Amino acid sequence: MRRLLPLLLLAALPLTAASDRLQAFLKVMGNSASSPEARADAVRALASSWDEEATKALLAAVKPSQAPEALVAITEVAAKHPDEGATAMLKACLGIKEAWRARGSAALALVKRGRPGDFELACGLSTDKDGRALQLLCEALGMSDDPKAVEALGPLLAHEDWRVRASAIAALGQPRKDKKAEQAAVQALIARLDQEKGRLVGDILDALKALTGQELGPDPKPWNAWRITKRDGGQVLGAGFEEAKTSRPPPVSYHGVKTYSRRIIFVFDRTGSMQAGDHIGKEKKHLVETIEALAKSVGLDAYEKKPAPVSFNIIMFAGGTVECWKDALVPATEENRASAITFVNRQQASGWTNTWDAMKTALDMATKGVKPPRKPGRGCEAEGAVDPDTEPYGYGKALLEGADTIFLLSDGVPSTPDGKPADWTKVAEQIRDYNRNKRIVIHTVGVGEAFDVFMRRVAEESGGTFTRLP
pLDDT score, position 279:
79
Coil, helix or strand for 267? strand
**pTM, entire model:** 0.83
What stretch of H or E contains 257? strand 257-259
- Kindly write down the DSSP assignment for every residue of 309-373, as one continuous string: PPEEEEEEEETTEEEESSSS-EE--HHHHHHHHHHHHT----S---HHHHHHHHHHHHHT--BPP
Both 16 and 151 in one domain: the answer is yes
Is residue 205 a part of any domain in this protein?
Answer: no
Is residue 288 a part of any domain in this protein?
Answer: yes
Both 296 and 444 in one domain: the answer is yes
Both 326 and 406 in one domain: the answer is yes
**Which long-range CB contacts under 8 A does 56-62 form with residues at least 24 apart?**
56/85, 57/22, 57/25, 57/26, 58/85, 58/89, 59/85, 59/88, 59/89, 59/92, 61/29, 62/89, 62/92, 62/93, 62/96, 62/102
pLDDT score, position 3:
46
pLDDT score, position 469:
86
The burial class, CB within 10 Å (0-12 / 13-18 / 19+), for 420 is exposed
pLDDT score, position 308:
64
Is residue 139 a part of any domain in this protein?
Answer: yes
pLDDT score, position 341:
93
Both 125 and 27 in one domain: the answer is yes
Both 139 and 259 in one domain: the answer is no
pLDDT score, position 18:
62
Is residue 247 a part of any domain in this protein?
Answer: no
Is residue 245 a part of any domain in this protein?
Answer: no
Domain count along the chain = 2
pLDDT score, position 190:
95
Both 294 and 363 in one domain: the answer is yes
Coil, helix or strand for 223? helix
Both 309 and 420 in one domain: the answer is yes
Is residue 110 a part of any domain in this protein?
Answer: yes
What stretch of H or E contains 18? helix 18-30
Instruction: Tell which of 144, 167, 192 closes a domain.
Output: 192
Contacts of residue 1, defined as CB under 8 A and 6 or more positions apart, other chains included, come to none
Both 37 and 170 in one domain: the answer is yes
Give the domain CATH number at 364.
3.40.50.410
Write the CA distances from 291 to 72, 203, 331, 445, 465, integer angstroms. Answer: 44, 23, 11, 17, 20
Instruction: Tell which of 156, 173, 192 closes a domain.
Output: 192
Both 9 and 129 in one domain: the answer is yes
pLDDT score, position 320:
81
Both 42 and 155 in one domain: the answer is yes
8 Å CB contact between 258 and 264:
no
Positions in the chain whose pLDDT score sits under 70: 1-18, 231-248, 298-308, 368-401, 449-450
Is residue 202 a part of any domain in this protein?
Answer: no
Both 316 and 186 in one domain: the answer is no
pLDDT score, position 368:
64
Domain that holds residue 130: 4-192
Both 186 and 256 in one domain: the answer is no
Give the domain CATH number at 154.
1.25.10.10
Instruction: Tell which of 157, 173, 192 closes a domain.
Output: 192
Is residue 229 a part of any domain in this protein?
Answer: no
